[in-house]
A and B are shown apart, each in its own frame.
Chain A
Amino acid sequence: MTNPHSEQRKVLVIDDDPAVVATLADGLQLLGDYEVIIASDGAEGLHSFYASLPDCVVVDVRMPRLNGYQFVRAMRGDPETAEIPIIILSALVQDHEQLAGFLSGADVYLLKPVQIIELMAAVDTAINRTAEQRAEQLRLLADEP
């Protein structure tokens, strides 16, 4: 589902806070030359995903309609989208909340507020992750050897 015909990476940012979305989109476009698609909740995010086929998704947790956990599970539960790099970017800082994000299937969990340089590094990390690394993390979280 990546876009092999373009050097410019495409990132879908899903957050119901317009100020957060604007800041992230501006930063990623200006500093990272990413193409940024935005959506304001998980349901809109799913539609946007299939319309734009991004290389990576950055998603908030607390949102109307589908929350971030549900969005990530929707992606991981479909073989067509199970390997899409996903970053949760959330203000939920507690350990159990971060673990819940990983258990849902996120590759990376970042805390708000985030610096753009930090987000770009996370996007690269998520995109460069192999299917084997992703499967290994999910097995680890499922207590499987």
Chain B
Amino acid sequence: MSNLENRPTGLARLLPFLSRARRAFSILVLSDDQRMGESMAAVLGSMASVVVTLSWEAALAASEVRRPDILLYDFDRQESFGWPILTQLHATPSLRHTLLLVLTLRTSVNDKIAAFESGADDYLIKPITADQLRFHVQRLSHFRQVLGPN
């Protein structure tokens, strides 16, 4: 990669720690688009246990049973979805240790800041390929394992 590889902060030296972060993990999808939710479940189902919900109430109920590692919040189609829902998700006790990943068409800086200040840990802009989604979610899962619950 570069001569920085040999420095104490080089990635190569850290990669063995990654193997300790590998474990089964679970994803809860909250989407306002059933087809999109099912597509994400198909893409992510090979790497994690995935449940798709289509309402805040259903997501809340599922979170209490599953305590997901990652909640993927996909919205754009329904006005009832938005940042207030994200704030509620962030404040939900059963999601206290869950990383929140937003998947949206909204590209503005103000939307990104609103998302992160509402509790988002990650922000992905659609459209996104299946590989990009899988890589992103896998790294986020590793991140959670490496740093531990907040």
Chain A residues with a Cβ under 8 A of chain B: 42-43, 46-47, 50, 65-66, 69-70, 73-74, 76-80, 95-100, 102-105, 108-111, 121-122, 125, 129, 133, 137-144
Contact = CB atoms under 8 A, between A and B. Distances in A.
A103 B121 CA distance: 13
A96 B147 CA distance: 6
Q: B-side binding surface: helix, strand, loop or mixed?
A: helix
Contacts of A141: 18, 139, 142
Contacts of A42: 116
Contact of B14 (A43, A98, A111, A144): A98
A103 B2 contact: no
Interface residues of B, number: 35
B99 to A, nearest CB: 10
Interface in B7-59: 8-9, 11, 14-15, 17-18, 22
A42 B134 CA distance: 26
8 contacts: A65-B117, A73-B123, A78-B112, A97-B147, A99-B17, A100-B146, A122-B4, A137-B1
Given A65-B113, A143-B138, A104 B123 contact: no
A95 B139 contact: no
Interface in B93-141: 107, 109, 112-113, 116-117, 120-125, 131, 134-136, 138-140
A104 B143 contact: yes
A128 B134 CA distance: 27
Given A42-B116, A73-B121, A125-B4, A138 B135 contact: yes
Given A97-B147, A125-B2, A142-B135, A102 B14 contact: yes
Nearest to A99: B14
Nearest to B108: A50
Given A46-B109, A79-B125, A97-B147, A103 B139 contact: yes
B117 A144 contact: no
Given A47-B109, A98-B9, A143-B18, 16 more contacts: A43-B116, A46-B113, A65-B113, A66-B113, A74-B123, A76-B136, A78-B107, A95-B14, A99-B146, A100-B143, A100-B146, A100-B147, A103-B146, A133-B1, A138-B135, A144-B135
Contacts of B1: 133, 137
